[in-house]
Structure 1
Amino acid sequence: MARVLLAWEFGAGLGHLNRLLPVAVRLVALGHEAVFAVPDPEAARPAVVRVLPDAAAALLAGPHWKPVPAPGLRDVPTDSFADVLRLFDAHRPEVLRAAVARWDGVLAQARPDLIVADFAPTLALAAPAGVPRVVLGNGYTVPPPGRPLPPMRPWVQALPEHSRAHEADLLDAAGRLHRERQGRPLRHLADLFSGDRTFVCTIAAFDPYGPHRRGPVCMPFNVPRVTPGPPVAERTGGAALYLPANHPQVRAAFTALEAAGIPCDAHIGGADPHAAARAAPPGVAVHGRPLPLETVLPAATALIHHGGLATAYAGLQAGVPQLVMPVNLEQSITARGLQRTGAAVLLPGRGAVEPATIRAALERLTGDPVITAAAQAAARAAAARPRQDTLELVVAACRDFLEEPRRRRA
């Protein structure tokens, strides 16, 4: 039996952990031991225990990166990943060294035979020689290795000077540690985000580094398989709405749906479902659990959401026109990918958006034959793509690394 360390360090929420958990479940079923290192073990514990009850004690605290509380620093545009890392003071040698020291403690306690990492670049600096690393991530968190960081926005051609300077500072700080510990230079900052095997789990159309990525991408684990629905004009359902509780446009979307007389099934992520139901107008059914996209979307006439990758791709598979209101950069990149299909309308996620504007967008989605035809074409294209079991590919790579020492001994 081998011991596998599954780790993540950057990023809010539990999305990175939710990508690691299916791998852990499969490896534990094969007889291996799973140990987790996460920024906040108590926040992660319920998700881990739900699928691996015996792993409750195997939760270690890795580095916990928090943005620097300096308003002026946050005003700097984030054009590349170097700009993002600078918001966490990762360019400062003492901060970087402290994060690596935290990983040293985790590694001494876990003593892993294999590392499976998601968005954990400083773990790449600390990882001992001879312990293989399998890296998972979405397109946003795995910039292409072997080159300087490209722009995060695929519609931008070149980086500004401040982004290149930030990358140089980060590479200098990380490079010193890399030489000390690994005995060789770190040629590119992006190399810390890849491993001995790397799996970029995204949809090619939504990959922020698509114009620069040489290798293939893999279908994400959490994308449901959705059957295309009939043409929008023949559908019997109303709209489907999937927004987080802190999204600025929830109330405006409710008002627009009521004004347009469009029935809607809604899930407000992170909200008290009873409070959300009280705030919803007649005709909007608020569900306490996430909507079953594979059953709701093929009958829906419109999909309203904030630009989550899984939701966006489920909508494409179903052939439903989409109204997207992104809040952050990653969601904006996904929204731009949707817009290129012709099957989506984009509105701002931040700031004030009038309910009348949302209503007009919904009426355009369902009434414009160009948009509805584009949605059907996107569904046909999605159905024609070859199916791929990415989880099986990841587990096979892990097994190869874990069985290699046994093959050498034989």
Structure 2
Amino acid sequence: MTRKVLFCPWSAGGGAGYTGRALAAAARLRGRFECAFGPSGVPRMVAEGGYRMIGEPAPDGAPKRVPAFLPFANVERVYAVTARYYRRSVLAEHLRRDLAAIDEYRPDVVVTDMQPTAVLAARLRGLPLVSIADTDFLSPDPLAWMPWSAADPTTLLPHPSALDALDAVATEHGLDPVGSIPELLWGDLTVVPSAPEVEPPPPAPPGQSGPAYVGPLYWDPPGAPYVPRAAAGTRRVYVSIGSGGMVADTALREVLAACDRPDLSVFLSAGFAAREWLHRYPNVELGGFTGITGPIGWADLVVNHGGYSTVLAGLLHGKPQVVLPFMSEQEANGRQFLADHGAGLVARTTEVEPDGRIRYVNRHSGATDDPVVPAADLAATIGEALDDATLAQRAGYARDSLARLRAESDLAESFAALLR
């Protein structure tokens, strides 16, 4: 009898990256497990991956108005702000949705990637839980996503507590109290799609084993990897700053203006919807959701938003990176995974005062109140990255470890061990 796995990735605010690495994990289980996706997955990606979606898909979580920078200090603030999980009625509805998917599909294992109602649903049905997580999901530090901040997390984003609501919903259903969000996100198996050289393991809760590092998990659509075009004699820049849910046109215009040079060939991963104005740049090739492997292998430099999967893929391929973050965890990825190792540059960082005031610091033009980095400053940063040979050398600091973990980790066997 084939065992079944139900993936429940986070989706509020877009969710392409979370669904993508769930798809990558599902591919590693092929042949030993049947896989499907719960209603929190991104439907078009699940369909393209060839998997069944169980239950009614969640409404499109992409915000209509995108702030230029989102100062999430930790996962709880993400739950409160983007999903409104301080409202018990919202939590109860999402828990009902996840329970219905479990009862329809009857999986042997539930996999969550930051989706807390899937955790509660798996526990209510007595099913083994696998948690795919960045280490900052699991850290007990209240500033895990923004360790340079001097402000209380609720000063930055003063929404009511999602933890209080999660605890209330859990105990109403007879589950143990939810003492902290990080402890909730440790599973019976906790998978970190990275390497300890990139992000050391956080302390495990009492009675829990430490995380299993499995190397990068990122998804390419079916078929041969797409390799972009390049004009002879040019250097190649891969631009990938999100699927559109987190990035406003204002920022993207500055990025492309910064790359508007005859000595560059640019491939832009435009996500799900390529806007018409993007066609005005003759040195830019537009791609949809083409996957990561082909473009990143082609590139001399990767310009990205600090998304976890893109940064890890760049490290796996040993490519120097320029990070232009639009929220705090992306900035942390750029600072900690790249800049601290000399493997990349962060185009704009933030400084946060105790009263919550944020000052933006552009790499070349310095402090400003404007969160949008101007094209001239970005052009200087991109030029700096392309011309710094040591940056390219250091970009491979974790390549061997990431490649080894990716090759050696047997995700299917780890899942099977939960059922013995």
| TM-score range normalised by the length of the shorter chain | 0.7 to 0.9
The separation in 2 between residues aligned to 1:97 and 1:19, in whole angstroms, is 26
2:87 matched to 1:92?
A: yes
Distance 1:286 1:17, change over 3 A: closer
SS in 2 for 1:6: strand
1:197 Cα shift?
0.8
Distance 1:59 1:248, change over 3 A: same
Distance 1:358 1:393, change over 3 A: same
Q: Which residue number in structure 2 is paired with residue 197 of structure 1?
A: 189
Q: Which residue number in structure 2 is paired with residue 115 of structure 1?
A: 110
Q: Give TM-score scaled by structure 1 length.
A: 0.73
Paired residue total: 371
SS in 1 for 2:194: coil
2:410 matched to 1:393?
A: yes
Code of the aligned partner of 2:177:
P
1:99 Cα shift?
2.5
SS in 2 for 1:248: helix
Q: Which residue number in structure 2 is paired with residue 345 of structure 1?
A: 345
SS in 2 for 1:35: strand
CA deviation profile, 1:252-277 (whole Å, cap 9, x unmatched): 3443334x542213123237779577
Check conservation: 2:195, 2:401, Cα contact below 8 A. Answer: no
Distance 1:276 1:315, change over 3 A: farther
2:176 matched to 1:178?
A: no
Q: Which residue number in structure 1 is paired with residue 72 of structure 2?
A: 78
SS in 2 for 1:131: coil
Determine which of 19, 22, 34 is the counterpart of 1:20: 22
The separation in 2 between residues aligned to 1:395 and 1:286, in whole angstroms, is 36
Q: Which residue number in structure 1 is paired with residue 46 of structure 2?
A: 48
The separation in 2 between residues aligned to 1:255 and 1:70, in whole angstroms, is 23
The separation in 1 between residues aligned to 2:279 and 2:157, in whole angstroms, is 50
Q: Which residue number in structure 1 is paired with residue 148 of structure 2?
A: 155
What RMSD over aligned residues (CA atoms) do the two structures have, in Å? 4.1
2:103 matched to 1:138?
A: no
1:101 Cα shift?
2.5
Distance 1:107 1:92, change over 3 A: same
2:384 matched to 1:364?
A: yes
1:85 Cα shift?
1.8
2:344 matched to 1:309?
A: no
Check conservation: 1:319, 1:378, Cα contact below 8 A. Answer: yes
The separation in 1 between residues aligned to 2:113 and 2:55, in whole angstroms, is 15
The separation in 2 between residues aligned to 1:70 and 1:266, in whole angstroms, is 26
The separation in 1 between residues aligned to 2:274 and 2:11, in whole angstroms, is 29
**When you count helix as a share of all residues, which structure comes out higher?**
1
2:237 matched to 1:240?
A: yes
Gaps of 5+ in 1: 225-234, 405-410
CA deviation profile, 1:104-162 (whole Å, cap 9, x unmatched): 3223222222212222212222323531111213345x323xx5745321334784575
The separation in 2 between residues aligned to 1:363 and 1:69, in whole angstroms, is 33
Determine which of 256, 259, 266 is the counterpart of 1:257: 259
1:22 Cα shift?
3.7
Distance 1:109 1:239, change over 3 A: same
Distance 1:329 1:47, change over 3 A: same
Code of the aligned partner of 1:181:
H
Percent sequence identity is 23
Q: Give TM-score scaled by structure 2 length.
A: 0.72
Distance 1:112 1:330, change over 3 A: same
Code of the aligned partner of 1:262:
D
The separation in 2 between residues aligned to 1:161 and 1:48, in whole angstroms, is 35
Structure having greater relative contact order (Cα 8 Å, sep ≥ 6): 2
CA deviation profile, 1:284-335 (whole Å, cap 9, x unmatched): 44456457245413xx2x4333223343344445555433222222321222
Code of the aligned partner of 2:134:
N
Q: Which residue number in structure 1 is paired with residue 9 of structure 2?
A: 8
The separation in 2 between residues aligned to 1:392 and 1:381, in whole angstroms, is 16
The separation in 1 between residues aligned to 2:86 and 2:395, in whole angstroms, is 42
Code of the aligned partner of 2:339:
Q
The separation in 2 between residues aligned to 1:344 and 1:123, in whole angstroms, is 35
Q: Which residue number in structure 2 is paired with residue 59 of structure 1?
A: 54
Check conservation: 2:108, 2:127, Cα contact below 8 A. Answer: yes
Check conservation: 2:113, 2:131, Cα contact below 8 A. Answer: yes
Distance 1:163 1:397, change over 3 A: farther
Check conservation: 1:148, 1:189, Cα contact below 8 A. Answer: no
The separation in 1 between residues aligned to 2:69 and 2:308, in whole angstroms, is 27
* Higher alpha-carbon Rg: 1
